[in-house]
Amino acid sequence: MSSIIFNSVSFHYTTPFREIFKDLNLEIDISWKCGLIGRNGKGKSTLFKLIHKELSPTAGFVKSPVKTFYFSSSNVKRDDEKIAKDVAVDFIGEYREIEREMEHLTKKGDEKSTEKAEELRDEYEREGGYYIRSAIIKEASKLNLDEDILEQQFSTLSGGEKTKLLIAAMFAYDNGFMLLDEPTNHLDIDSREFVADYLSKKRGFIVVSHDRYFLDLCTDHTISMNKENIEMIKGNYTSWRNQHENKIYSEMQMNENLSREIKSLKRAADERRSWADSKEDEVSSAGDRGYVSHMSAKLMKRALNIERRMNDNITKKERLLKDFEKTRELKVSNKDNIEKILSVEKVTFGYDEKKIIDDISFTVRKGDRIALIGRNGSGKTTLIKLILGELPCEAGKIYMPSRAKVSYSSQEPKWREGRLEERIKEAKIDRVKFSQITGSMGIERNIFAFDIKDLSDGERKKIDLARTLLEPSNLIIWDEPLNYLDVPSREMLERMVVKYEPTMIFVEHDRYFIEQCKTKTIEL
């Protein structure tokens, strides 16, 4: 089969200088369904842009035998006033522009215009222009989008509807290769599984997602961007995870054996050096100075040769040692001292006579970790705002002891600008502990002197979560805490929640995170 080929590709950004790839060789079969994983900032989006020709390598070349299409979350943020179907058509080609030009040339009617119009018709036909709209409608219906939605203004569609429409448009084009950069960002649990099932029946794409369950459902190959290299395996995320853990275990065993050998060689080298020094002293005490010099030089040469061979052996062994990506565990203190933290009794709330929350009751006790689940628009965030007192209950009541404290992370970080150092001081948060938590979640650079608005979305999200973990509280509330977080950070959070058992209410669409962390589920 045909393949997308990276041949000795290097790439770096210049302002400021940041090397992303060096001498990368990679081959991706265009029939594969690939998941692309790696920490934030490792170059996943850059890899897409190199394939899509938005960026050019600083060395080497990228070769693609097919036309590529690139979806990113920025496409969903557009507030385009055009009809949704027209946005979908424009997203995958210049069909409407060619149609306008053909109409213009046909109206002119002269011989030259007629010839040009015929050339455009041939191009239009080659690109599937005569059936592209019906193909989009067909693919959209497979993603549970009614044709009526395609006739609405694009700006009126929800984030999930925009995502599904643009994915449908990409797959309406025959023989293309699709690059999907975090398509799950605006999808609830049901929609994620629906889209994953749709993709599992397609071929020829790479998808970046931090949702492990989603990747397991729809991929058959995994590309992992590690600390020192990029590896490709056949299989979905769980297959990669199992292989990766086995590989790490084997390499750690090898490291231990090599470390013991290196220590033994260094000890032998030290002993050989001490022996040579002692022999030189013995020779030096003899009477004949010419003989002394000759023997001393001979012993020293022999000792240096042996030491050189030993040092070469030590160097070879040290090169075999693997440089593992260090995993630092999150550590937080759990200071809950209230047994019954929250009581929600027969609460009802709605907008414009439409009930969003209807007669809901539950209790939160120390150690509970309650997952709020439901479709987008089912009232999860509304319920959180009722608990926080940001909205009034229409009926029922919510009770929390007056001394109980809540630490809340919304979908948008609390701190959006200002120097992080100053924000931490204002919140009376321990700087060392804060640095430990953000470091555990993969923030390697010193971010304290930066203005928060200049940080990445992932860094701002990690800062917000670190804040909630360190603020004095009896209840932590997280509304979609995993937005923008890479897989290692998600797994780190999971392990922390399971180990330290903070009292929590959280909204999340990552099924694996929910299953690992929840003690109870409330479905809205």
Could you read off the pLDDT of 232-246 as tens digits, one per residue?
Answer: 999 999 999 898 888
Burial of 176 (0-12, 13-18, 19+ CB in 10 A): middle
pTM for this prediction? 0.77
- Give 410-469 pLDDT, tens digit per residue: 988 898 888 888 898 898 888 888 888 888 777 766 778 788 888 878 888 889 999 998
> Would you tell me how many other CB atoms lie within 10 Å of the CB of residue 4?
21
pLDDT tens digits along 185-226: 888 888 999 999 999 999 999 999 999 999 999 999 999 998
Out of 71-75, 173-177, 199-203, least confident range = 71-75
Q: For the domain with range 340-523, which CATH number is right: 1.20.1560.10, 3.40.605.10, 3.40.50.300, 3.90.79.10?
A: 3.40.50.300
What phi, psi does 234 have (nearest 5°)?
-85, 125
Helix (H, G, I), strand (E, B) or coil at 114: helix
Question: Is the pLDDT assigned to residue 265 strictly greater than 70?
Answer: no
Contact 430, 454 (CB under 8 A): no
Q: What is the signed CA dihedral for 294, 300, 302, 303, rounded to 10 degrees?
A: 160
What was the pLDDT predicted at 302? 62
pLDDT at position 323 is 47
CATH code 3.40.50.300 region(s) in the chain: 3-243, 340-523
**Could you confirm whether domain 3-243 is CATH 3.40.50.300?**
yes
347-400 pLDDT, tens per residue?
999 887 788 899 999 999 999 999 999 888 888 999 999 999 999 999 999 999
Question: For residues 378-391, b (16+ Cβ closer than 10 Å) or e, as one string?
Answer: bbbbbbbbbbeeeb
DSSP 233: E
Whether the pLDDT of residue 88 is over 60: the answer is yes
The mean pLDDT of the chain is 84
**Residue 47 pLDDT exceeds 90:** yes
**Confidence class of residue 281 from pLDDT cuts 50, 70 and 90?**
low
Q: Are strands 177-181 and 33-38 parallel, antiparallel or unpaired?
A: unpaired
